[in-house]
Amino acid sequence: MPARLLIVEDDPPLREILVRSLRAEGFDPVAVSTARGLLELALQQPPDAIVIDIGLPDGDGRDLCQALRAGGIQAPVLFLTARDALTDRLSGFHSGGDDYVTKPFDIEEVQARLNALLRRSPGQVKPDGHGQLYLDPAELTVSRGGRSEALTPTEFRLLGALAGAAGKVTSRVELMRMAWPHGAIVHDNTLDVYIARLRRKLERLPDAPVIATVHGVGYRLT
Amino acid sequence: MRHRGLHGGGLRARLLLSVLLTIALVLTALTAGFNLVLGARLNSDANSVLSARASAELGALRATRSGIELPEAPDQGSPDTSTWVFQGRRLIERPQSVAVDPAVAAAVAAQAPAGRDVDGGRVRLYSLPVRVHVRRVGAVVVGIALAPYSQTRRTALLASVLLALAAFVAVGLAANWLIRGALAPISKMTRDAAQWSEHDIDRRFGMGPPRDEFTLLAFTLDGLLDRLASSLRHEQRLSAELSHELRTPLANVAAQAQYALRHTEPTSEGRQVLENILLSTQQMTTTLDTLIAAARGGLDLHGATSDANAAVRAVAATCRALADEEGVEIVVSAPPIAPRVAVEQHLVERVLAPLVENGCRHAHGRICLDVHVHASRVEFAVQDDGDGIPTEDLDRIFASGWQGKSGQQGSTQVIGAGLGLALARRLARSAGGEVRAERSNTGARLLVQLPRDGASLT
């Protein structure tokens, strides 16, 4: 059975040739043009692997990746990036990406990297939906039980990092790395302020998980 | 933003000097004025003492037509005063122990009323006439020792000079302390601003709206940092957007060509066309990478440096394949101690590569790559043994879009990753260097000059 791929790429000719090439190479690709479109498709039926263009019209591909992880999607993510600066590549990994290729790419390289990711991937896991938060990378909101709260980009990345850790503790250093740009100077109390704000916003959502402090280590969403 | 030879002392020294000069002038004027007034005052004191004494002596005498009668018990007076009494020209009373010559006292008596300093200024004499009705019958001469007065004057002079000196030192120390305290925030702010502009472009003083000189300075520096940060962000965004906007269509072209090559069955001519398209996308990608790297390099405030020898060897290695294809040998000769250039290595390579590729295509069998060190720059020479460049074309080969005659040196119609000589020159210039061609009898000689690390600042 061919591996099911979800692709988000906003440039129509490139999207079309990606689908055609990957199908010819034996994948089962479905392509969309927006972050939200991909998130909805992925939550309906988790794919085997995901290809995300970082520059999307309705959001940043890295935020989309965090939203996927927060939604319980564990399929490997390959970023297509037109930005090859070190900071861009690092932020791709920090947001939960597994690999990246720089545009323009050789389609054979994309195929080879996807195959490598699929070999290492644990396979499809249907998210159970319990205690889950829905992060919208286009609107930068978090929703649960029909209510939603607006987030700032930093709050979004911070919450995405916590939600993507699936109940495990995320260290303070890790959170700073994931929520702030590479090289930014973040003071300890800045992180505390953001966590406090997130806690207030989560309290307003019905039956939402809470951010627990693990002293001397970091935070955990429970 | 480095401080050279400035230790925050320039302005402070000037301010201190002007304060000290002013204080010195004021203190000198005060001391001189005080001593002059004191001198005049002492002088007039001595005169009034003399005049009172003389009047008292005169009042004690009884003068009649027959002569002058001295008081029964002559007034001893103070030890500092002495009295002579003359009847006519005859001295009838004299002090016991005074070193003044009676002849001198007689001369003063003759001119009565008169005053004179005698005995080398140690004694002042004053005379008043003794009259009976209007007839002058004699004179009283009173002398006073001036020693106490000059003693007072000397003591006052010494004390006032010492006081002035002490005041001068005290004011100098206080002024130095005040000026240092007042200027310290300025040097600290200057240092902070310089440091932030290099390492932490988002830091600000944030002292609010300007209320005094310091907050105005902070406000101005914050404004400058804002503008610097915004222009940096603008440049970074521009290059990122440019890169993104060009890379996506390039990716599309490449993917289409790859698909057509792999999954359609093109004729051999069609295959050639598709391969040429792929080659062109590779060239465009390299050019794009170079331009973005140059833009980023231009924004690099930390002044990246690199090893000139390593760059030359890397270029020789990259061009080896092309050289082998053309049957050309690349000979590198580099100085034993590697010079450092004030440019990132990949930029050096991107400047040198087109020159070496150009050489590969035009050499008959050999290219020499030499590195020379000069005082302020490092020079890379690319010399081939081909037919050389016509004199009239020495500069023209660097014009963008220059198309030499078929097979001529400097032709921009290159195969491979060559970026052309125009881009090489532009890159070198953006890094503060230069690329030029030189006349040579043994083929083409292209020279790249780049700033040497550490040399440009001294």
For B32-66, what is each residue's pLDDT tens digit?
Answer: 999 999 999 999 999 999 899 888 888 888 877 77
| For A183, nearest residue in chain B (alpha carbons) | B200
**Helix, strand, or coil here: A202?**
helix
Residues 111 through 140 of chain A touching chain B, CB cutoff 8 Å: none
Mutation target vs B (from A17, A19, A87, A109; most B CBs, 10 A cutoff): A17
Q: Which residues pair with B377 in a beta bridge?
A: B451
Average pLDDT (B304-315) is: 88
pLDDT digits (tens, 9 = 90+) for A129-181: 545 788 888 888 898 888 889 999 889 989 988 888 877 899 998 888 888 87
Is the separation of the CB atoms in A67 and A39 below 8 Å?
yes
Enumerate the residues of chain B whose CB falls inside 8 A of the CB of residue A107: 255, 258-259, 262
Two tokens, residue B295: 């833009």
Is the separation of the CB atoms in B3 and B188 below 8 Å?
no
pLDDT of B5: 43
Q: Which residues pair with B144 in a beta bridge?
A: B81, B124
Q: What is the 3-state secondary structure (H, E, C) of B38-61?
A: HHHHHHHHHHHHHHHHHHHHHHHC
pTM for the model stands at 0.53
Enumerate the residues of chain B whose CB falls inside 8 A of the CB of residue A84: 243, 289
Helix-strand-coil percent breakdown of chain B, rounded to 5?
55, 15, 30
Residue A86 confidence class, pLDDT cut points 50, 70, 90: low
* Dihedral of alpha carbons A33, A36, A38, A40, sign: negative
pLDDT at B429 over 90: no
Tell if the CB–CB gap between B244 and A14 is shorter than 8 Å. no
Tell if the CB–CB gap between A82 and B255 is shorter than 8 Å. no
Other CB atoms within 10 A of residue B403 CB: 11
**Helix, strand, or coil here: A64?**
helix
* Dihedral of alpha carbons B305, B306, B307, B308, sign: negative
* Range in A92-96, B270-274, B415-419 with the lowest mean pLDDT: B415-419
pLDDT at B303 over 60: no
Q: Which residues pair with B90 in a beta bridge?
A: B87
Tell if the CB–CB gap between B263 and A103 is shorter than 8 Å. no
Q: Residue B410 carries which side chain, given as an amino acid letter? A: G
Q: What is the CA radius of gyration of chain A?
A: 17
Measured torsion, CA atoms of residues B148, B154, B159, B161, in degrees rounded to the nearest 10: 160
* Range in B168-182, B221-235, B376-390 with the lowest mean pLDDT: B221-235
Q: What is the mean pLDDT of chain B?
A: 82
CB proximity list for A215: less than 8 A, separation 6 or greater: none
Measured torsion, CA atoms of residues B248, B251, B256, B259, in degrees rounded to the nearest 10: -140
Is the separation of the CB atoms in A57 and A33 below 8 Å?
yes
ipTM confidence score: 0.72
Tell if the CB–CB gap between B255 and A21 is shorter than 8 Å. yes
Tell if the CB–CB gap between B244 and A185 is shorter than 8 Å. no
Q: Which residues pair with B145 in a beta bridge?
A: B123
Residue B456 confidence class, pLDDT cut points 50, 70, 90: very low
C-alpha distances out from residue A207 to A136, A151, A157, B221, B230, Å: 18, 18, 21, 50, 43
Q: What is the CA radius of gyration of chain B?
A: 51
Half-sphere exposure of B144 (CA within 13 A, CB side): 23
pLDDT at B146 over 80: yes
| B156 burial via Cβ count (<10 Å: 0-12, 13-18, 19+) | middle
pLDDT of B258: 92
Report the gap between the CA of B252 and the closest CA in chain A (Å).
5
What is the rounded CA–CA span in Å between residue A222 and residue B351? 56
Q: Which residues pair with A213 in a beta bridge?
A: A219
Average pLDDT (A15-22) is: 93
Task: Say yes or no: A13 contacts chain B, CB-CB below 8 A.
Answer: yes
Report the gap between the CA of B418 and the closest CA in chain A (Å).
18
Tell if the CB–CB gap between A21 and B244 is shorter than 8 Å. no
Residue B97 confidence class, pLDDT cut points 50, 70, 90: low
pLDDT over 90 for what percent of chain A?
A: 30
Residue of higher predicted confidence among A91 and B140: B140
Question: Diameter of chain A by CA atoms?
Answer: 53
Tell if the CB–CB gap between B247 and A103 is shorter than 8 Å. yes
